[in-house]
Amino acid sequence: MCAGNLFLAFFVKEQTQRMKAPHLFFIVNPSAGKDEPIVEQIGEVFRHSKTAITVHVLEEEEEPAELIRSVLNETDLVAVYGGDGSVTQAAAGLIGTSTPLAIIPGGTANVFAKELGIPQDTMEALKLIRDQKYRLQAVDTGLVNGRPFLLRVNLGIMAEMITETDPGLKDKIGQLAYGIAAVKSAVNTEPVTYHLTIDGKTAEATGVALTVTNSGSIGIGGLQMYPGISVNDGLLDIILLKDAGLLSLLKAAGSSLLDQTTDAVDHWAGKDITIRLPEKQVYLCDDCGTEAKKLTLKVVPGSLTIAVPC
C-alpha cells in the first residue's frame, strides 16, 4: 500500500474511533439503602443520550471487581450505584487501571461520595455523568493484609458500631443507627493495647477504638474525623480513641464539629503501617469484617481515578 493510502487508512480509522459513542457500564446493587427505581431512572436520563450504556444488576454473591475486569477493554467509564461497600468492591476492579469510576450514591452513608462532593440526589448524579460535567481526579487507596480499601480500617468501638447496628433500625433512621450502636458498644468495651510501627518508627498506645483512614469524612455534613485528612495526600491517618468515657466522647465529637484537635484521641500519619494486637480481633475493611492479630497496611497513592463534579 502506498504512503497516501496508508495515511488515508489511518485517518479513517482515527475518525471512526473519534465518532464512536463512549460506552458506560453501570453496576447496580439492588440491596442498596435507598428505595428507588434506579434502573428506570438510568433509562430515563440516558434515553436520548449518544452514550452507549450497559446496566448490570448484581446477583447475590456476585463479585463486582471480577465483572468489571471482564469488560475493561470495551468500556470508557464504570458507574456504580450503591453504598460505600459497593463502591469499594467496584473500585477493586479499577485500581491501577486508566478506566475511571463514577459513583451514584445509593447507600445509607455514602461517605466516599460526600468526601468528593458528588451529588447525593440520584437524578442529579446521573445527569452530571450524562452531560459530562465532571473532571477526573486521582485518589489514593489503601491495602490491609493485601486487601484494598477506599475509606478506612476500623477496630474496637468503630468496628462494633457497624457490625452491631440493627439493619431494620438503619432503614428507619439512617446513620443515627450507627451512633446508637456505638453508645451501646462503648459501655462494655475494654481498652486494647496496640503496638504500632509507622514508617519504621514504633509506638505503643491503649484505647477503645483504632481507625486507619484514607478519608476524613464521617458522612454527616462536612464533619471530619480529624483535621487535615485528605484522599490524595499519599498518607494514611491513624486515629486512636483513648477511652469511652462521656467526656472523651464529647471531646471527640467536638473535634469533628469544630475541626480542631483534641487530647481525647492520638493521631499519627504514615505510608507503611503495622498493627500488632494481643489477640485476634475483629476489624472492618470498609464495610467487610474479618479477624486478625496483625494488620499490615500501606497507601497506594493516586491509584484510582474518580469522576467528580467540575
**Whole domain around residue 108: which residue ranges?**
3-132
What mean pLDDT comes out for the span 226-240? Answer: 92
Q: Dmax over Cα atoms in the chain, in whole Å?
A: 82
Same domain, residue pair 118 and 164: no
Would you state the pLDDT for residue 225? 77
Please check whether residue 309 lies inside any domain of the structure: no
Instruction: Label residue 8 by pLDDT band (50, 70, 90).
Output: very low
Instruction: Label residue 162 by pLDDT band (50, 70, 90).
Output: low
Would you state the pLDDT for residue 33? 74
Same domain, residue pair 93 and 175: no
Same domain, residue pair 60 and 32: yes
Same domain, residue pair 166 and 29: no
Same domain, residue pair 226 and 86: no
Please check whether residue 308 lies inside any domain of the structure: no
Burial class of residue 225, CB neighbours in 10 A (0-12, 13-18, 19+)? buried
Distance from C-alpha of 81 to C-alpha of 261, rounded to nearest angstrom: 35
CATH of the domain at 254: 2.60.200.40
Structural domain count, the chain: 2
CATH of the domain at 86: 3.40.50.10330
Provide φ and ψ at 17, rounded to 5°.
Answer: -65, -35
Please check whether residue 208 lies inside any domain of the structure: yes
Cell of 192: 486494647
Distance from C-alpha of 84 to C-alpha of 175, rounded to nearest angstrom: 13
Residue owning grid cell 452514550:
51
Q: Which pairs count as long-range contacts for 88-92, CB under 8 Å and 24+ apart, including other chains? A: 88/112, 88/148, 88/149, 88/150, 88/151, 88/286, 88/287, 88/288, 89/63, 89/64, 89/65, 90/27, 90/64, 90/65, 91/141, 91/148, 91/150, 91/304, 92/64, 92/65, 92/148
Would you state the pLDDT for residue 18? 45
Please check whether residue 138 lies inside any domain of the structure: no
Please check whether residue 28 lies inside any domain of the structure: yes
Per-residue pLDDT reduced to its tens digit, 115-152: 999 999 999 999 999 999 999 999 999 999 999 999 99
Task: Check whether 258 has a pLDDT greater than 90.
Answer: no
Same domain, residue pair 288 and 251: yes
Same domain, residue pair 269 and 174: yes
CB 291 within 8 A of CB 206: no
Instruction: Label residue 169 by pLDDT band (50, 70, 90).
Output: very low
Closest by Cα among 139, 128, 150, 157 to 100: 139
Please check whether residue 141 lies inside any domain of the structure: no
Same domain, residue pair 111 and 157: no
Burial class of residue 14, CB neighbours in 10 A (0-12, 13-18, 19+)? exposed
Please check whether residue 298 lies inside any domain of the structure: yes
Q: Pick the more confident residue, 214 or 174.
A: 214
Same domain, residue pair 122 and 152: no
Same domain, residue pair 271 and 152: yes
Provide φ and ψ at 30, rounded to 5°.
Answer: -70, -15
Same domain, residue pair 54 and 159: no
* CA 86 to centroid of chain Cα atoms: 8
